[in-house]
Amino acid sequence: MQYTPVIHGFMLWDVYPQYQYQAMLLDGWNHVRLVVSGRRMQVYVNGLPQSALSVGNLESDSKIGSIHLRGPAQYANLVVTPGLVDGLPPQPTPDVTADDRAIVRRWELSELCPISSLAAPAYAEMPKAASAWQTIHAERGGLVNLNRQYTMGDQPAAVSWLRYTVNAKQPGVKQVSVGWIGEAWIYVNGKLVSDAKNFYYPPTERRDPDGRLSLQNGIFALPLRAGSNEIAVALYSQTRDTIRPRMKYGWV
């Protein structure tokens, strides 16, 4: 059982691995019941009292929608009952990371920067004008969801830059955990310290766990100097290949 939002045309199944569970299905007809209340949803299978899938926050920006059944499968006896929510509250469940001060919450996001090759973008190419940047805040779990900023087809061969400033009392090396989808280049004070991919296809470019977004994707060492340090991240979501277009899976 899997829930995935589609935001601005991007299908983000790999961004929310917490919304995937296993359910026992029968050889034959199976009864599935969805309970949707405000920003929450629960899915029940074959009359079991325990939900097979629980979504604490419906992530799409959409407020209205429709039902679309798609195979290969057969469907029968579809019943829609407006207002029947079984006591499920409409408010999203609390963000368990809300008080985690180790998560960077406020970033600066650049305008899209077209690129012509898959080489590491030069730090000098990062936009300089203040008008090219906007403030962006992390969502639940510390996620910086760039798919809310762009739509499918926006300059697919492009890089987005994210940056923030770290003030260190003394020089040293700090270990940080980073999760991302796509390809990411991390710069510290203008120096490239990491170039890493996390694409589901091809399998050789999948990061643990299974190419999904997680703080387990990578742990990197950031060499900091005393005083102000600029951390800049260039993100690229599309790589030209013959398997399938990657742009639809978005970038974060």
Check residue 248 and give its pLDDT. Answer: 62
Residue 71: which residues within 8 A CB-CB, separation 6 or more? none
pTM comes to 0.87
Give CB contacts under 8 A, 24+ apart, made by 3-7. Answer: 3/41, 3/43, 3/53, 3/55, 5/58, 5/59, 5/60, 6/60, 7/59, 7/60, 7/61, 7/145, 7/147, 7/148, 7/250
Element at 41 (helix H, strand E) = strand 40-45
Q: How far is CA 134 from CA 25, 109, 112, 158, 249, in A?
A: 47, 5, 12, 17, 23
Does residue 5 surpass a pLDDT of 50? yes
Q: Convert the pLDDT of each residue in 173-231 to its tens digit.
A: 999 999 999 889 999 999 999 999 998 888 899 999 999 999 999 999 999 999 999 99
Name the band, by pLDDT with cuts 50, 70 and 90, for residue 155.
Answer: low
Name the band, by pLDDT with cuts 50, 70 and 90, for residue 118.
Answer: low
Check residue 156 and give its pLDDT. Answer: 58
Q: Which domains does the chain have, with CATH numbers?
A: 1-93 (no CATH), 106-249 (2.60.120)
